[in-house]
A and B are shown apart, each in its own frame.
Chain A
Amino acid sequence: MTIEPIYLTRTVKGGGCAAKIPPGVLDKALCGLDLTVDDNLLVGLEHADDAGVYRVSSELALVQTVDFFPPMVDDPYSFGQIAAANALSDVYAMGGIPKTAMNIVAFPSKTLDLSVLRSILEGGLDKMREAGVVLMGGHTVEDPELKYGLSVTGYIHPDRIKTKRNLKAGDRLILTKRLGTGIVSTAIKAGLASPHVCATVTQEMATLNRVSAAVMGRFDVHACTDITGFGFLGHLAEMVVGSGAGVNISSTSIPLFSEALDWASMGLIPAAAYTNKSFRGDRVDFAEGVSGSMQDLLFDPQTSGGLLIAVSAADAEQMIIELVEAGVTSAAIVGEVITSPVDRIVVLL
């Protein structure tokens, strides 16, 4: 008997964080909601941060987040790993330590074998184990489109929360993973990516941001977020808008999957990259010579992307050394915070 290969990505329309509802649309739905007020809610919905934070005592706060999406890779076990790494990342981006998790599953049990679900859950569990997180339960619904993710709870000290909004002029910006996972996933779906590229990008997406967060904890970090569905420039815009500062990005310093630039020039770009560009493009000035493919890559929706960290210039080089020593070999200084133009991003060659 031969076992037919499973192509999970062909069973869904849009995979990974590219499946997020577009940012402008979501704002309309949330606008004007009558939210509960609570003094212990330290980080809530209002600033669209990576996770919510609730103070339990002067020493302890809970970090909570939820994330799930359709598959962006064909292998069920890898999909489980990536979805879990992606969900856990929001806690790391806040400076917290994830502790417990619940599975969230939507599964087409009539068209996919249960062994597929089993592999997905095993992949997720392996990442939770690596993160020191205990699985407490979960919820599964029947759905024509497969989806998987986690709700995660972690600890954080109420005085050590890292939000998106605290850029200081002179800060350096550090990015810890390569960009291009959305474009590469599109190429995988098109059957154009070599097994080597598939394996490399899968491994990058399945890598926890745990080590990067641990290194970050040793420094006086001013702001942090993780790069997911809104793309590098989309998430950077969330840091910049309202900060009273501007940002210069060096496009040649950006860590990326080099094949993604070729595929972008061929038009293998996920629809969400265009949505991200039309939502935030007016905040960004591209210097002459920054190629169209590079611009698309900077708006490419990422799945389980890296941390984007703002740290003083004095600490930045040392942080890179410690990140690379700890095995975060893609980490690079990609830009700096400047005093003007305020609330804008300038992408230099």
Chain B
Amino acid sequence: MKESLDCCGLECPAPVLRVRDALTQSGISEIVIRVDNEAARQNVCRFLEHQNYRAQVVIQDGVFVITGSNEGVVDAGMPINAEPVVVSPDTAIRKIMVLVTSAHMGRGDDALGDMLMFNFLKTLKEMGPELWRLVFVNSGVNFAAGDSEAVPILQELASSGVQISACGACLAYFHLLDLLQVGEVTNMLEIVSGMKRADSVVTV
């Protein structure tokens, strides 16, 4: 099946989106797109190649006429005429579990280690939606309890969907069971099964 689109007068990203919508119909072996600016020409060609179409461009009266064809394109990864792939960071999100085993990061100087660990927790959100579970054990539980400066940071992570928990035995050891400010009390069985379910476990 052939398809034709006139995208003259449209600015990026509109031409790419028009092409994407057109290719969602199944069975399009050839698509002809007219664009009138260089950026749209390059972006549409890129999109076609990204979708495993071969792109050819001719200039007619100052208009770029782009022909995308997938006939004879050998593709190992994607079936021909497959649904266009829209890159979304939220599809098939990996699960990262972070295990914080101490109030300090690394060995050497504890005051430096305190600062580093605080900075680590502050920066953790950069993992984005892949950060799945944050578990505190041993003296690490101090971050989630009492008047720790990390509490608002952890609350923000929790509100963005990160599961936060602190080891119950550890909280009890440091007399913090009644002072937990954020997250759930957890146990070793839950920690171990979490490690099994996670795609990767980061221990600090």
Tell whether A13 is near chain B: CB-to-CB under 8 Å: yes
Per-residue 0/1 for B32-71: is the Cβ within 8 Å of any A Cβ (1 yes, 0 no)?
0000011110111111001000000000000000000000
Tell whether B76 is near chain A: CB-to-CB under 8 Å: no
Contacts of A13 in B (CB 8 A): 11
Pick the interface stretch among B83-91, B95-103, B165-173, B175-183: B83-91
Which residue from B39, B50, B89 sits with its C-beta under 8 Å from A196? Answer: B89
Contacts of A38 in B (CB 8 A): none
Number of A residues near B (Cβ < 8 Å) is 30
Which chain A residues numbered 155 to 205 have a C-beta less than 8 Å away from chain B?
Answer: 186-187, 189-190, 192, 194, 196-197, 200
Verify B13–A186 contact, CB threshold 8 A: yes
Tell whether B119 is near chain A: CB-to-CB under 8 Å: yes
Verify B46–A265 contact, CB threshold 8 A: yes
Pick the interface stretch among A85-93, A208-216, A268-276: A268-276
Verify B45–A200 contact, CB threshold 8 A: no
Verify B87–A269 contact, CB threshold 8 A: no
Tell whether A25 is near chain B: CB-to-CB under 8 Å: no
Tell whether A14 is near chain B: CB-to-CB under 8 Å: yes
Verify B90–A266 contact, CB threshold 8 A: no
Per-residue 0/1 for A73-107: is the Cβ within 8 Å of any B Cβ (1 yes, 0 no)?
00000000000000000000000000000000000
Tell whether A142 is near chain B: CB-to-CB under 8 Å: no
Q: Which residue of B lies closest to A262 (CB)?
A: B87
Contacts of B128 in A (CB 8 A): 196-197, 200
Verify B89–A267 contact, CB threshold 8 A: no
Q: Which residue of B lies closest to A278 (CB)?
A: B38
Tell whether B113 is near chain A: CB-to-CB under 8 Å: no
Per-residue 0/1 for B1-36: is the Cβ within 8 Å of any A Cβ (1 yes, 0 no)?
000000000011100110000000000000000000
Q: How far is the CA of A271 from the CA of B160 in the complex (A)?
A: 34
Which chain B residues numbered 113 to 135 have a C-beta less than 8 Å away from chain A?
Answer: 115, 119, 122-123, 126, 128-129
Which chain A residues numbered 194 to 245 have a C-beta less than 8 Å away from chain B?
Answer: 194, 196-197, 200
Verify B87–A186 contact, CB threshold 8 A: no
Which residue from A190, A197, A262 sits with its C-beta under 8 Å from B16? Answer: A190
Tell whether A27 is near chain B: CB-to-CB under 8 Å: no
Verify B42–A267 contact, CB threshold 8 A: yes
Q: Which residue of A lies closest to B40 (CB)?
A: A271
* Shortest beta-carbon distance from A264 to chain B in Å: 8
Tell whether A259 is near chain B: CB-to-CB under 8 Å: yes
Tell whether A40 is near chain B: CB-to-CB under 8 Å: no
Q: How far is the CA of A275 from the CA of B44 in the complex (A)?
A: 16
Chain A contacts to B: CB under 8 angstroms? 13-14, 186-187, 189-190, 192, 194, 196-197, 200, 259, 262-271, 273-275, 292, 324-325, 327, 329
